[in-house]
Amino acid sequence: MISGLREDALLEPAGPNCELVVRKAAMHDIEPILGLINGYAAKGIMLPRTELEVSEDIRDFSVIVTAGRLVGCAALHFYTPSIGEIRSLAVAEDAKTHGIGRRLIEALVREASNYSLDAVFAFTYVAAFFGKMGFQEVERGELPLKAWKDCVRCPKFQCCDEIAVLRVLRAEYCRHFQQYSQDDGSQFVQLPVLRQLDRR
């Protein structure tokens, strides 16, 4: 699940003292990561996380720091040899800098590319932000079944209002990737399916 982002999430930092440092998370980042995620969870925007859950998944996380303060986090979670999910994207609401969300997504997309993933997807309330980052809306029913494991414990499971988005990273391998239209004219993308690939 993805947090709400302000409209300035794509903009560059403002001012000379607004340097943003993106890095992989460390164990000492667990407390501020939980603070960000659970702050949004209290508003019903994200699923709450426990210290144990974040500890187990800490290698998935990247964080962004400015002036010694952690102001954003996001995780890249692998589901199959070809697809991963960008999740737990949270940006401090009082952050005085811009472009935090964009920098985090860029870092996770690079990481996914380095692992030769074909595509990454996300569930979000801010599809327009992801659209500017090269993602397209997809039909959620096409996502790998494993992607639903967190949804089962969500209070909105039976009436989910999040939008599934996808960014293809290795189009040459997405033989089943295609765009199609719903009866209402909505445009969606068919996700690539798991298959055996020669990655030499």
pLDDT digits (tens, 9 = 90+) for 47-92: 899 999 999 999 999 999 999 999 999 999 998 888 899 999 999 9
Total Cβ atoms within 10 A of residue 180: 10
76: tokens are 């890249």
In terms of residue numbers, what domain contains 142? Answer: 7-190
Q: Is residue 45 part of a domain?
A: yes
Calpha distance 117→115 (Å, rounded): 6
> Reduced to 3 states, what is the DSSP secondary structure of residue 68?
coil
In a domain, 149, yes or no: yes
pTM: 0.75
- pLDDT exceeds cutoff 70 at 11: no
pLDDT at 178: 47
Q: What is the CATH number of the domain that holds 161?
A: 3.40.630.30
Q: Which of 93-97, 122-126, 162-166, 169-173 is predicted with the least confidence, judged by mean pLDDT?
A: 169-173
Collapse the DSSP code of 58 into the 3-class scheme (helix H, G, I; strand E, B; otherwise coil) and give the result: helix
